[in-house]
Each structure stands twice: as structure tokens, then as C-alpha cells.
Structure 1
């Protein structure tokens, strides 16, 4: 039951780590020479060489905190390192070795077969490789020279006169010393038959890798504008992160801005992913001209494109200039969505009541004006129906008696 629980926990952790890896999240930072206690006392130039080998995945420590600088390396271990140095094609599906002493389940099997196919080794005999045996210094010299394709030069060389070197290896050792792949001991002798230490193997691996790179095109092989305002630069070799300076990368003669633009380096160190800032301008009507300067490989070689041959550029999706989410308010100007109410003007939906004017539904009574139904009586004027009596005018029916003018009517 306890084993089942342990297995369940292991599977859970494995799945979690797999999920993190699939999302492109780095679980831990890559190691450097500072992570190994036995490399702390080396000079800075030598530390930089070890950093390059560790970063390139060619070397790792023998434990979390120890590089194993003074330890020996067997032939199986060297086969893997050599295949990585020279970029050999490794077939991981191989299950049967050309050598009888290399087991089918050995991790080194595909690397040993890659070395044999490249002509770097023929084995200790025609049927054996001796995978657990030590790599001597003269064997190391022969492996490195062959890996660099200098077999003919070594055969034509007069060879070293060092008596510590076997006759078959004199030409290889002489060439390895000339190319500064390896160095003689403090006493001046090479010590060809002594086992090579990891320190010597690392030094030889760095110098060999540097020469391998020189034979290859070292350049920016392509550029692509992608979604998300990204520009990817594809390289032909692994580059040193410290050599990337965005201000030395120009697009149509305009340098990138280290304060506004940012970048990441891919895990294999062969792609620079540049995040362009919002508002970056690109004339999509013509092919952009990109120039990159200052890049160096992990092994110190400069990447340099031919000025006469432009870097191939592909525009999958041009950089965009996003519109602001909030419209900019113009001072003293109304927003187009909301009409501005003019002061002292009525709202068209609500009629404005005019002062001193009656509402249309209720007529306003005019003061001092009589109603049309009731005539106004005029003062001192008689009514038309009743004639006015004229004073001091006698009635016509009664005659007025005239005194002393007649005797009529006098009684005797």
C-alpha cells in the first residue's frame, strides 16, 4: 500500500512538472559556474568558457554543487560530449552496437555509433570500444583533431618529439597544441598516456566548438513579424544572452528602444523573441530592412550578416496600433454621443411657459374690458326706450289762459 502511495505521488509530481513545461514556464534557472564550488577559484576568462559549455548543454556537474574539475572521464562519457561538440547526427532508435562490449541498453550506444560513423573513433580494436576505460590525453587529442576534420593534416605533420606521446599519436598531439586545443603540463611535457581530466576535456571541447562554429555561417537567417506585436529573429548558432542589445537592432534604419521594447531568448538559444511596444510604426507597403549588430555566440564568435544580402523578412501579422478604449474628450467641446443643452433655450419636448401670457387652454380676462353680453351704461345719457321730459315746455293739450284780453267766461 505504501508503494502505491509513493507511486501515486510520483505520478502527480511528474504530471505537474509536465504541465508546467508544456506551458513554457521555466521551473528553475539554468546553472552557471557560480553554482559549482570547485569552479569558484578559476579566473573569469576560464569561468566564461565553462559557462558556455554548461549553457550549451554539453557539460553538467557530477552533482548539484560539484563540477568534478579534477575527475577523470571514461570513454562512454566522452562519446556523448564529442557528439554534442561536433553536432553529429545521433540516432536514438539504435539498439545494437557495432562493438561487442557496448550494451544495448547503454545511454552511450547512439553516441558511440555516431562517433564511429563520423570517423572519429574506430574503437580500441575492431570489435571493442572499452566504454568504461579512461580517455588518455593523446586519445583526446586524436578525437578532437578528427572531429574538426583535420585527419590529413595530422598525418602529414612531423609530429611532436615529446617522448611521453605514443608514436601513432604524435601528429595529433602536435596539431592539438598548435591549434591550442590542449596544453602541455607545467613541466613542458604533454603526458600523452595519462588519463585526461574533465578540466582538460572541457578546455579542449570549448576551443573545438569555437573552430566548428567558424566553419559554419554565423548570421541571422530570418526574421518574422508575428501576432502580439512580436518580431522573431532566427539564428544559425547559439548566442550569448549578454550580447543582445536592442539598440543595435534597426528596422528601416530606426533602432529599437531598450526602454520600450523587450525580448526573450528561446531555450535552444537560437531565436530572439522581441516584444515591440504598442504604437510601433511599420510601413507594411514594403519589405522592412532589418540590420542586427553586436551578437556573439556562446563560444565568442561574432554573428555578422553580409550587408549586401538583406535578412529575409516575413510578415505573418504586422505590428498593430491599438485604438484607445476611452475616447479623448476635447476641452470645451461636447461629446458626440450626448447633445449639449443650450442655456436659455427650451427643451423641445417641454414647452416653455411665457411669462405674462395666458395658457392656451385658459383665456386670460382683460381688465377694464366689459363682457360682450352686458352693455355698459353710459352716464348722463337717457335710455333709448324712455324719452326725456323737457322742463318748462307746456303740454300741447292744455291751453294757457291769457289775462284781460277777453270777456268770455266772466260771470255777472
Structure 2
């Protein structure tokens, strides 16, 4: 064996040993292997990288039961809190601007700081709408404002753009121009649907990467949890959707399948009136 070939073999052996010691293999140099933090964010979950990175940064948290609950809808108040944290906005003192934001509100910091920054402007009825679900078109507008995204001049069309509110069309277009959204597979944007936690984190993460606020992390791979005996994991994705019974109290349906509110109607009887809520079930 020549001297050069012997040196090559030694270097290859040292590299292989280092990869083994650090828990990597020659084919996964672009991945990070860590323990799984949430029972519902696993290796097959579509947004695991974005969720893991923003959780590590402290932008968003999971729940005490070790779930992230990615399908839970995001309220406007929660969205404001997350934006305030992601952008590290300065705290703004309480002002009696919104009817539904008191000096003791859990959404005080987010509502005040994003209002002062011109991101959330409140609603026409004088409320912030902290408990209202954030829709996809609203999300587009606030992300464009939050990250100062500008119109590139590119033509953008969605099959349902006539359903996008006039006040949000500019935001939706700009978000698509910057490839932070590509819409749905059927060519629609689906502007009125409420945003869930996973979707909001992904859009927020993309905007932070696009504007250079963070670098995109390496691919996350969760370690396989240790088991004893013949143990088979049965995983059900939990989907939540709100029943619009009251504006002050929240009522949710929970399912292992995708749910979407499809409308309501009233049926009158001789001695009572029923409200019927209809939901579509996917999967």
C-alpha cells in the first residue's frame, strides 16, 4: 500500500469514527437528531422543522401535557402575541384603545405592541378581536405589515381571488410574490378559513427566513423513543374546530379527522328554536 493511500484510509476511518461518536452517519450530515418534545409533532409531521425551531427560540410554546396541538385555531390575540415575540417588539404601555383588551389581559403585550407598530389595527366595532379566529387573508396582511414586504410587480392569481376581501387582496398578493404562500393544491387561497397553529408557525417561519431574521435550520430527525416489550404506537392527529355558539365562551369539536365549519341554520318548532351547525369531515 502506498503512503498516500494509507493516509486516505486513516482519514476515512477517523471521519467515520467521529460521525459515529456524534450520532450522525455519512449520509445525514445535513440533519440534526434530537429527542421528540411533543407527542403530536413527530418525524412524519409536515411542519416539524419550523415548529421545532420556533419553539427552541421561545417564539411559541407547547402545552403542559407535552402536546403542541398543531390543528388548534389561532386567535387574533394569540397571533399578536406570537408576532410580538418573533419580532421582539418593544413593550407598549396599556391604553384603553380596545374594548376587549384590559390592563390585565393575557393579550395586552401583543395587542398594544403590534398596534403601535401598525401591524394589527383593530376592528371597526372598537375591539381588537382577541378571541376571534385569525383567517388566512388576515394572516397575509399582518405578516406583510410585520416584515415590511413590498410589491414586486409580479402577477399573482388565485382561483378564488373574488372571495378575498378587498382590504386583504394586496397582502395576499405580496405574500405570494415572496413565496411565503403558494396557496392550496387546487389553485385557491382559501381566504376565510381560520389558521391553525402549525400553519401560522410555518408562515411566520418563512417570513423570518426570507427577511434574514433567522437562518433556516437543518432537517430535524427525532430519535426513536425506547420501548419495552412489543409496543406499537397508535397516533391520532387531533383536529379542533370552533362551534360559533357564543362570542364570549369557546366551544370546540375535536376529531381525528379534518373538520371545517360549513354553515348554520335555524329551525323553529312550536315550543323551541334549534340552531343546526354543519361541518364537513375529511379523511
Q: TM-score, normalised by structure 2?
A: 0.58
Which moved further from structure 2: 157-166 or 171-180? 157-166
* TM-aligned CA deviation for residue 41 of structure 1: 4.4
* Larger relative helix fraction: 2
Please list, as runs of the form range in 1=range in 2, the aligned pairs for 1:11-410 lying within 5 A after superposition: 34-42=36-44, 46-91=47-92, 94-125=93-124, 127-150=126-149, 153=151, 160-161=157-158, 162-213=161-212
Q: Specify which structure has the bigger relative contact order, considering alpha-carbon pairs within 8 angstroms and separated by 6 or more residues.
A: 2
Which moved further from structure 2: 115-124 or 56-65? 56-65
Greater Cα radius of gyration, structure 1 or 2: 1
Contact 2:51 2:198 in 1 (8 A): no
Contact 2:209 2:216 in 1 (8 A): no
Contact 2:136 2:191 in 1 (8 A): yes
Secondary structure of the equivalent of 1:119?
A: coil
- The count of residues paired between Structure 1 and Structure 2 equals 184
* TM-aligned CA deviation for residue 207 of structure 1: 1.0
Change (3 A) 1:241 1:188: closer
Secondary structure of the equivalent of 1:85?
A: helix
Report the equivalent of 2:250: none
Change (3 A) 1:33 1:160: farther
Q: TM-score, normalised by structure 1?
A: 0.41
Change (3 A) 1:33 1:109: farther
Change (3 A) 1:174 1:102: same
Point out where structure 1 has 5 or more consecutive residues left out of the alignment.
Answer: 1-31, 215-236, 243-412
* TM-aligned CA deviation for residue 138 of structure 1: 0.3
Change (3 A) 1:75 1:33: farther
Q: 2: distance between equivalents of 1:183 and 1:37? A: 29
Change (3 A) 1:211 1:157: same
Report the equivalent of 2:27: none
Change (3 A) 1:69 1:139: same
Change (3 A) 1:160 1:239: closer
Deviations 1:289-310 (A, max 9, x none): xxxxxxxxxxxxxxxxxxxxxx
Point out where structure 2 has 5 or more consecutive residues left out of the alignment.
Answer: 1-33, 220-283
